[in-house]
Amino acid sequence: MPNLQREGIWNTIISYAGIAIGYVNTILLFPNFLAEEEVGLTRLLIQISVMFAQFSALGFVNMSVRYFPYFRDKGKEHNGFLFLLLTVPLLGFAAITGLFLLFKPVVIDYYIENSPLLLTYYYFVIPLAFFTLLFNLLTAYLRSLFKTIISSFAQDFLLRILTTLLITLFAFDLIVFREFVLLYIVINAVITLSLVVYALWLKQLFLRPQLAVIGIIPLREMLYYGFFTFMGNISVTIITTVDQIMISSYSLGDNGIYTTAFFITSAIMVPARSIFKIAFPQVAEYWKDRDMAGMEKLYKQITLINLIVGLLLFIGIWANIDNLFSFMPETYRAGKYVVLFLSMARIIDLATGINGIILATSEKYRWDLLFNVVLAGLTIWTNYVFIPIYGINGAALASMISYVTINLLRLFFVQWIYKMQPFAWSSVTVTVIAAIALGAAYLLPYLGNLYLDILVRSLMITAIYMGLMLSLRVYPEMNQWILNKVRR
């Protein structure tokens, strides 16, 4: 656990620093210097490249975390594992690139009427997807080595600070929008190269192929697992991108507003993503050792930590939502309830803990595929129904309904099969405390100055929330940690 805590703390610090920069980019710079259509295009290119990379990976990102413990032997260069991890997805990338070029006429028909700007930048997706794929594979490899800090720094901090630099150049008319997109691809190459350099520095960049890689775990078994996780990744990719793809077919400008609101809620998931990066291989180790007691303890601990931090961030965002939109052009205020619906979806994700990771690394991983397929189908259907009626609010509502449904199904399944569930009475207490703090924020009138109002409102929420949390000893380990810091 010390390694988990150290890596988790550093990942959280890096992620929040990145979120701060991301808020500057998303709330202050992008909306005020780029047209809504240009904002929508940049976000859509990123999402399509993510989808491209996920299809190309063929499930090998998750395969790395599950099977690497069996190959781990630095003296034997991990038995050629990294060569296998990179080779199969790169072959997949070549195949997906061929399909991407083949189906261009279909994409043109879908977007030509309302979003023709996408077609101008169609081929930009290929290099962006390539670097996204390599970054994901190297991140998975380093995560299996319990080295997550540098990849977090590169993705959550370095990429965003370089993006800030690009927007600044664009704002001063030093580059045009096409150069902005090209340079964004370049900085993705830079962060990928940083992981290569880090692996070299660790003396863990073993690219030499070895026959031993097919003897430790049968290649057929790894490919079989990779196939199931590949199918699951397709579902996850559909879940995370279908809303933007469907909204963009109506208007790239609407997608710009939607994705801006989407990013506002991303701070809620920072604690979860930071912890999950190191929890994934930790759970795989628990399965290897059949340590169910340790896994259940981790399950409950992570859920409570995520709820405490996630709910505080949610009430802080929602209490200041009108203030946040004041920094952007008035048209962006249409995303207010997108923030609410997506925040609720993210809280449900936090509240159900690591059930998805438990399933994905267990012998029941095929069931996780089923859940993902159901979620993908539900997401497509709800978006198809609600977007034409409610626009971007409909897309957010569809996401909330889908995530609530599938997370409850996963929760009950893990409890039924493994007799584990992540909740305790402390989870209810945290929720009640959050409601009290948010209610108090509504009683505070607007203070007349935007910056003063954000500061005072946020400090009041934090004081009430943390004061009740500590006095009621909801999470005793947090009380002890603060006490130790004070004594020092």
Q: Which domain holds residue 416?
A: 2-487
| DSSP symbol at 157 | I
Higher-confidence residue of 274 and 93: namely: 93
Q: How far apart are CA 412 and CA 79, in angstroms?
A: 39
Tokens of 54: 């996920």
Least confident window among 74-83, 295-304, 319-328, 401-410? 74-83
324-347 pLDDT, tens digit per residue, is 999 999 999 999 999 999 999 888
pLDDT at 32: 92
Higher-confidence residue of 258 and 81: namely: 258
Instruction: Output the CA torsion sign for 21, 47, 142, 203.
Output: negative
pLDDT at 7 over 70: no
Q: How far apart are CA 313 and CA 270, in angstroms?
A: 10
Mean pLDDT of 389-411: 89
Q: HSE of 35 in the Cβ direction (CA atoms, 13 Å)? A: 9
Residue the block writes with tokens 């963009």: 248
How much is the CA Rg of the chain, to the nearest whole Å?
Answer: 22
Q: pLDDT class for 213, splitting at 50, 70, 90?
A: low
pLDDT at 202 over 90: no
Query: DSSP characters for 206-268?
Result: -----TTHHHHTTHHHHHHHHHHHHHHHHHHHHHHHHHHHHHHHH-HHHHHHHHHHHHHGGGG
pLDDT at 342: 92
CB contact burial 335-366 (16+ within 10 A = b; e otherwise) = bbebbbbbbbbbbbbbbbbbbbbbbbbbeebe
Query: Three-state SS string across 389-418, please?
Result: HHCHHHHHHHHHHHHHHHHHHHHHHHHHHH
Mean pLDDT of 234-250: 82
pTM over 0.85: no
pLDDT at 394 over 90: yes
Mean pLDDT of 430-456: 92
Query: Helix %, strand %, coil % for the chain, to 5?
Result: 85, 0, 15
Query: Three-state SS string across 51-120, please?
Result: HHHHHHHCCHHHHHHHHHHHHCCHHHHHHHHHHHHHHHHHHHHHHHHHHHHHCHHHHHHHHCCCCCHHHH
Least confident window among 8-17, 241-250, 476-485? 8-17
117-127 pLDDT, tens digit per residue, is 888 899 999 99
Q: HSE of 231 in the Cβ direction (CA atoms, 13 Å)? A: 16
| DSSP symbol at 335 | G
Q: pLDDT class for 412, splitting at 50, 70, 90?
A: confident
How many domains does the chain fold into?
1
CA angle 314, 319, 322 (to 5 degrees): 115
Query: Which of 40, 39, 34, 31 is CA-nearest to residue 330?
Result: 31
Mean pLDDT of 411-426: 82
Higher-confidence residue of 135 and 3: namely: 135
Query: Which of 76, 78, 80, 82 is CA-nearest to residue 60?
Result: 82
pLDDT at 382: 92
Q: Angle, to 10 degrees, between the axis of helix 60-71 and the axis of helix 125-144?
A: 30
Q: pLDDT class for 6, splitting at 50, 70, 90?
A: low
- Alpha-carbon torsion angle 446, 450, 453, 456, nearest 10: -170
pLDDT at 2: 45
pLDDT at 223: 73
pLDDT at 1 over 60: no
pLDDT at 94: 94
pLDDT at 209: 67
351-368 pLDDT, tens digit per residue, is 776 787 888 777 777 787
- Terminal alpha carbon distance of the chain: 22
Residue type, 113: E
